[in-house]
């Protein structure tokens, strides 16, 4: 079984990426990457200075759509330096974990750590080892809204819970007015959008509601949306697009998708001032979390109910999931080289330029050591 899956992994890593080579090369454009600093202008090294190790050929991966823009930025630099084609499908955390545990990809991205059943399944493809969670990307989950005539909006966890559970259905509801006394709120139906696919973004968003609004959010949580009502769209990009084009809309997606005029909610967390969705706020929140994984696993526990000043609590950590040992020998050198770059000082410095939060230093230092030991 393991041999069959490893053979399938090799075939998919080469064949599927070859079919999507044009897409990969578009994402991995080589402009402004061969000399000087990188194209973002943030002072990171030139792509030619990246340590490619024994990376070669092509690589296929799948997973969290929340981190797609971060992965695209890393791939652009890494591919220019190392001549490797990487196709990150970004089909969602659920799809990525499934692809990994079925031996279809060498690594996956997920906004939720592997659960016990997923770890057990990973042992079928990690010969003598198992899948581990490496926190690599931080991201504030923005709550975007589109209400004509309203530029600034403050909401708290109980109000958000009621909105996404169809208990508050109009923008001039008294609960929203109380939080926004100086805003003229219209008599307009709320159009709440959630993810249609299994999503780590959903898992983190609902974990916040469950922790900070327990009396109003009675659902168990997880990658699958459980509340009734509302509308759905696939992936972070799909939800963001629906919010952008629908008057009265509200939805959740990673901060890097809050662009092209999409406005975002500030959270009343009980701190002195409402907290906006920012990369600094996300890094501050992640830094207050704890690593609860054992051995080389770095799954984290985050305090979504925090009232700390400046900490934005609707924040996800995206894990890169990889075999700690027993991974596919054909792709392992390329996976290690790419992840080493992503976790490097230069790779992490690139994140704020695309609206992501770098990992706190004490966390990413441990991640670098673990990547070095992958076998």
Q: Last residue of some domain: 285, 310, 338?
A: 285
Q: Are residues 164 and 239 both part of a single domain?
A: yes
Contact 30, 77 (CB under 8 A): no
Closest residue by Cα to residue 343 from 333, 353, 351: 351
Q: Are residues 205 and 232 both part of a single domain?
A: yes
| CATH number, residue 175 | 3.40.190.10
Q: Last residue of some domain: 233, 268, 285?
A: 285
How far apart are the C-alpha atoms of 64 and 192, rounded to whole Å?
A: 22
Is 307 part of a structural domain of the chain?
Answer: no
Q: Last residue of some domain: 265, 285, 305?
A: 285
Q: Are residues 281 and 151 both part of a single domain?
A: yes
pTM score over 0.85: no
Q: Are residues 173 and 251 both part of a single domain?
A: yes
Q: Are residues 233 and 195 both part of a single domain?
A: yes
DSSP-assigned letter for residue 295: T
Q: Are residues 91 and 195 both part of a single domain?
A: no
Give the residue numbers spanning the domain of 202: 140-285
Is 303 part of a structural domain of the chain?
Answer: no
User: How would you write the pLDDT of the chain (375 residues) with one tens digit per residue?
Assistant: 444 444 445 444 444 433 333 333 333 333 333 333 343 444 455 555 899 999 999 999 999 988 999 999 999 999 999 999 999 999 999 999 999 999 999 999 999 999 999 999 999 999 999 999 999 999 999 999 999 999 999 999 999 999 999 999 999 999 999 999 999 999 999 999 999 999 999 999 999 999 999 999 999 999 999 999 999 999 999 999 999 999 999 999 999 899 889 999 999 999 999 999 999 999 889 988 999 999 999 999 999 999 999 999 999 999 999 999 998 999 999 999 999 999 999 999 999 999 999 999 999 999 999 999 999
Is 181 part of a structural domain of the chain?
Answer: yes
Q: Are residues 331 and 249 both part of a single domain?
A: no
Q: Are residues 102 and 222 both part of a single domain?
A: no
Query: Total domain count for the chain?
Result: 2
């Amino acid at each position: 079984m393991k041999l069959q899956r490893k053979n399938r992994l090799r075939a998919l890593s080469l064949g599927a990426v070859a079919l999507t080579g044009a897409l990969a090369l578009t994402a991995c454009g080589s402009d402004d990457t061969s000399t000087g600093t990188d194209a973002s202008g943030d002072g990171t090294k030139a792509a030619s200075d990246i340590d490619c190790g024994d990376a070669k050929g092509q690589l296929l991966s799948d997973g969290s759509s929340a981190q797609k823009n971060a992965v695209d930025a890393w791939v652009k630099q890494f591919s220019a330096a190392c001549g490797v084609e990487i196709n990150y499908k970004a089909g969602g955390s659920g799809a990525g974990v499934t692809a990994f545990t079925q031996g279809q990809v060498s690594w996956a991205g997920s906004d939720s750590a592997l659960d016990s059943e997923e770890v057990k399944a990973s042992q079928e493809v990690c010969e003598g080892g198992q899948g581990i969670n490496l926190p690599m990307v931080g991201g504030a989950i923005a709550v975007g809204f589109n209400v004509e005539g309203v530029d600034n909006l403050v909401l708290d966890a109980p109000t958000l819970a009621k909105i996404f559970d169809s208990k508050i259905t109009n923008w001039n509801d008294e609960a929203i007015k109380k939080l926004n006394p100086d805003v003229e709120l219209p008599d307009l139906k709320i159009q709440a959008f959630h993810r249609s696919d299994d999503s780590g973004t959903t898992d983190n968003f609902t974990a916040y509601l469950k922790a900070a609004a327990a009396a109003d959010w009675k659902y168990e949580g997880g990658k699958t949306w459980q509340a009734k009502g509302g509308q759905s769209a696939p992936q972070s990009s799909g939800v963001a697009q629906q919010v952008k084009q629908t008057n009265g809309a509200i939805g959740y997606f990673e901060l890097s998708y809050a662009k092209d005029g999409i406005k975002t909610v500030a959270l009343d967390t009980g701190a002195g001032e409402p907290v906006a969705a920012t990369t600094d706020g996300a890094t501050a929140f992640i830094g207050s979390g704890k690593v609860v994984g054992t051995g080389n696993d770095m799954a984290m526990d985050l305090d979504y109910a925090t009232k700390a000043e400046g900490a934005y609590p609707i924040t996800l950590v995206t894990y890169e999931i990889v075999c700690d040992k027993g991974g596919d020998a054909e792709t392992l050198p390329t996976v290690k080289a790419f992840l080493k770059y992503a976790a490097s000082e230069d790779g992490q410095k690139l994140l704020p330029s695309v609206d992501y939060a770098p990992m706190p230093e004490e966390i990413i230092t441990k991640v670098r050591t673990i990547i070095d030991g992958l076998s």
